Amino acid sequence: MTALIEAKNISKTFSRGGVFARRRIEAVKGINFSLEEDKPEIFAVIGESGSGKSTLARMILGIHKPSGGQLIFQGQDVDKIPRAGRAAFMARVQPIFQNPFEAFNPLKKLDFYLTMTATRFGGATSRAEADAASDQALRQVGLSLDEIKGRFPHELSGGQLQRVAIARALVSKPRLILADEPVSMVDASLRMSIVNLFGDLRDRLGLSIIYITHDLATAYYISDRLIIMRHGEVVEQGPAREVLSNPQHPYSQQLRAAVLSPSATLETITPTH
């Protein structure tokens, strides 16, 4: 039983503000979790805005160096991967970011991103191979290379862009996908088709997915386990359905109670004064 990824008491401290008023922000404070190599799962991270979810994701991707603790990916300390091993690591751990609008440069055609991932991380050695890999990945998200080729990001809606972003992440055939709010920009129906796609990738390709979201309903629906974060700490964790059906921590209970539904009325939101 080996870990695909293991977080050992990791933390991250930033300092922010002017020269005279520097503040230390403890964005992540000692988090532990582990995903097993031979047990692909969807691991949801939910919690307060500003609670350190994206910071955690950036540490896993090796973008931020942890201030304390260790992240081990397939036996290797992410922080100590030599330059030569970076590309191989990045092929195995692929991100899907919070916002489709910031994921793509408006001046670059969308197929460029797929081609680039296919050649840099996916082992494609010719245009035809790169195109085939791109098309295959796009088809997994309900698009095709024909539809995307030559188009710029602004020609697609947010939902379409997010599907391209997921396809791009699939091109290098990763083991772990880090999806930071991948569905927040898209409608309920597309949201369901994207999380169903995640479930399918888990079951069919044995991919593990760390799914950061504010959408409790899809976290409940698709994820196997989850953690709930607040102020840089995990306040509750466990099997997703168990935790969300019967939250124990007061913050989790508040979160569960704040979900809006079509039966909610104007009176249920209290104006702040």
Partner 1 sequence: MSSQPILRVENLKAHFRGTYFGVSREVRAVDDISFDVERNEIFGLAGESSSGKTTLIKTIAGLIRPPLELVGGRAQFAFLPDAPTIHQAAPAAVAAIRWRHLSYIMQGSMNVLNPLRRIGATFRDFALPHLGGSAGAFEATVTAHLERLRLDPSVLSAYPHELSGGMRQRVTIALATICKPEFIIADEPTTALDVIVQKDVLGMIRSIQREMGSSVLFVTHDMGVHATLTDKLGVMYAGRLVEVGATRDVFAAPRHPYTRHLIHSLPRIGDVTQRSGLPGTPPNLANPPPGCRFHPRCPLAMDICRTVQPAMIDVGPGHRASCHAISEGGS
Ligand X SMILES: Nc1ncnc2c1ncn2[C@@H]1O[C@H](COP(=O)(O)OP(=O)(O)OP(=O)(O)O)[C@@H](O)[C@H]1O
Residue ranges that bind ligand X, judged by CB under 6 A: 14, 16, 25, 27, 49-55
Residues that bind ligand ADP (CB under 6 A): 154-158
**Binding of partner 1 by 238 (CB under 8 A):** no
Residues in 56-95 at the binding interface with partner 1, rule: CB under 8 A: none
Rounded to the nearest whole angstrom, what is the least distance from the CB of residue 27 to ligand X in the complex?
A: 3
Neighbours of 81 (CB within 10 A): 15
Q: Quick one: CA dihedral 181, 184, 190, 193, positive or negative?
A: positive
Q: Kindly tell me which of 69 and 122 has the beta carbon lying closer to ligand X.
A: 69
Stretches 83-91, 125-133, 158-166, 171-179: which one binds partner 1 (CB under 8 A)?
158-166
Q: Which does 269 bind (CB under 5 to 8 A by kind): ligand ADP, partner 1, ligand X, none?
A: partner 1
Q: Quick one: CA dihedral 252, 216, 214, 33, positive or negative?
A: positive
Residue 263, CA atoms < 13 Å, CB-side half-sphere = 0
Residues in 41-60 at the binding interface with Mg ion, rule: CB under 5 A: 54
Q: Kindly tell me which of 4 and 228 has the beta carbon lying closer to ligand X.
A: 228
> In the set 76, 105, 196, 248, which binds partner 1 (CB under 8 A)?
196
Query: In whole angstroms, how large is the CA radius of gyration of the chain?
Result: 19
Rounded to the nearest angstrom, the gap between the alpha carbon of residue 160 and the centroid of all alpha carbons in its chain is 17
Whole-angstrom Cα distance, residue 92 to residue 61?
10
**Binding of partner 1 by 178 (CB under 8 A):** no
**Binding of partner 1 by 242 (CB under 8 A):** no
Whole-angstrom Cα distance, residue 271 to residue 96?
35
Neighbours of 87 (CB within 10 A): 12
Identify the CA nearest to 133 among candidates 147, 142, 122.
122
Q: Which does 154 bind (CB under 5 to 8 A by kind): Mg ion, ligand X, ligand ADP, none?
A: ligand ADP
Where on the chain is the footprint of Mg ion (CB under 5 A)?
A: 54
